[in-house]
Amino acid sequence: MTHDDFDVAVVLNYYAPYVSGLTETARIVAEGLADRGWRVAVVTTRHDPSLPTEEVMRGVRVFRAPILFKIGRGPISPGFVPLARRIAARSRTLNLHLPMLEAAAITTFAPRIPIVSTYHIDIWLAPSLTSRLQIAGVNLSAKLAMRRSDHVVVNSDDQARGSVLWPAIASGEWSSIPAPCLDPRGGTPRFRDGPGHHVGFLGRIVPDKGIEYLIRGFRRVAAPEDRLLLAGEYDTVAGGSNIAQLRAIAAGDDRIRFLGPLDRAGTRDLYASLDTFALTSVAESFGIVQAEAMMCGLPVVGSDLAGGRVPVLQTGFGRLTRPRDVPAIAAALVEMRTFPALEKERLAELARGLYGADGCIDRYAALLARLSKAAVLREGRGAPLAVEERR
């Protein structure tokens, strides 16, 4: 068995072309490290049967285990843990992205290499007959994995201390690294429709994004020429979408448009078309899209949730409301209409400095290199990672 094939093995349930905040964090960091000369492997599930079991994407070698079926958002893949174990055995470090049901099994059987667990969010599932059992199982797995890890990464101290798993996070070495945000400027306003105030949302169209409350808040205060643009995937999201419910709530209001999924160019065009961005989630641990909107000079209406409130609190670029509070969302949308133009420019620059992807990748590279070096000194095996040599 050798640890020399890969510098880091990144393990998570879903990876590109699937899009979520968790997968985008993993992808941007993996590709950023590969761009710097790191040998990066990703182990994930084959969420779409048309995807290959192995391929190279932007310098990252991706391995996919077939899925038998899914329970809610969770893929059931008997080959996933053995595949993760095999690739970890060929790697110098291991980076797990949680929550993930298989995390405890992977850390139980993982080779003796440094483990970094990136804990993104407390799992949220719509109430059902089995949701409490699913949440308990995933939380137990995450707790065990974090306690077996050399280091735990979270998006912010606020997220960590507000988590139901705070004792497990705090039981060892941990740090906060904001999720990486790519600069989304440079789009054209092709989604604008008239002179009215344009409010937008971008993300998975799922219940935990609280879109129904945004629609209701918008309809309370919107003028005839105002628009609400809702963009994001709904056909292939894990756990299912609530798009039918949202369309029923918006029925008959031609000011509200569902744009569907957008590629990166479309994302830039959406931000360029908006006056205000809204992320009125009922569960959120950071919200890459709200930070990206700020980077484009857009004020944000966000939810006052541990972790999810951090970009607004750190920048002052928007207003927070209680989750599900339709009157408060409506009032915040009105308030954002008069956000000072000079402040927008200043706060956009602040957001770009705080949340740009390079800073995040720098910190992951330094962390993984430090842990690898410590492991080499401890066990006396081959040369450690050298970040300076691999940039």
**Farthest CA pair distance, the chain:** 70
Cα atoms in the 13 Å half-sphere on the side-chain side of 89: 9
Domains of the chain: 8-180+356-390 (3.40.50.2000), 198-355 (3.40.50.2000)
Evaluate if residue 2 carries a pLDDT over 70.
Answer: no
Band (pLDDT 50/70/90 cuts) for residue 149 is very high
User: Would you state the structure tokens that stand for residue 260, as one six-digit string?
Assistant: 């569907």
Evaluate if residue 337 carries a pLDDT over 60.
Answer: yes
Inter-CA distances, 161 with 121, 148, 285, 288, 302, Å: 12, 19, 11, 20, 19
Evaluate if residue 381 carries a pLDDT over 80.
Answer: no
Band (pLDDT 50/70/90 cuts) for residue 380 is low
pTM for the whole structure: 0.90
Band (pLDDT 50/70/90 cuts) for residue 110 is confident
pLDDT tens sequence across 306-322: 999 999 999 999 999 99
Confidence (pLDDT) at 173: 97
Give me the mean pLDDT over the 212-222 stretch.
98
Residue type, 328: A
* C-alpha closest to that of 63 among 79, 72, 380: 79
Confidence (pLDDT) at 267: 97
**Whether 12 contacts 26, CB under 8 Å:** yes
**Angle at Cα 133 formed by Cα 127 and Cα 138, nearest 5°?**
105
| Helix and strand numbers, DSSP H then E, in the chain | 15, 16
Evaluate if residue 123 carries a pLDDT over 50.
Answer: yes
pLDDT tens sequence across 228-281: 999 999 998 888 899 999 999 999 899 999 999 999 999 999 999 999 999 999
Bridge-based pairing of strands 227-231 and 198-202 is: parallel
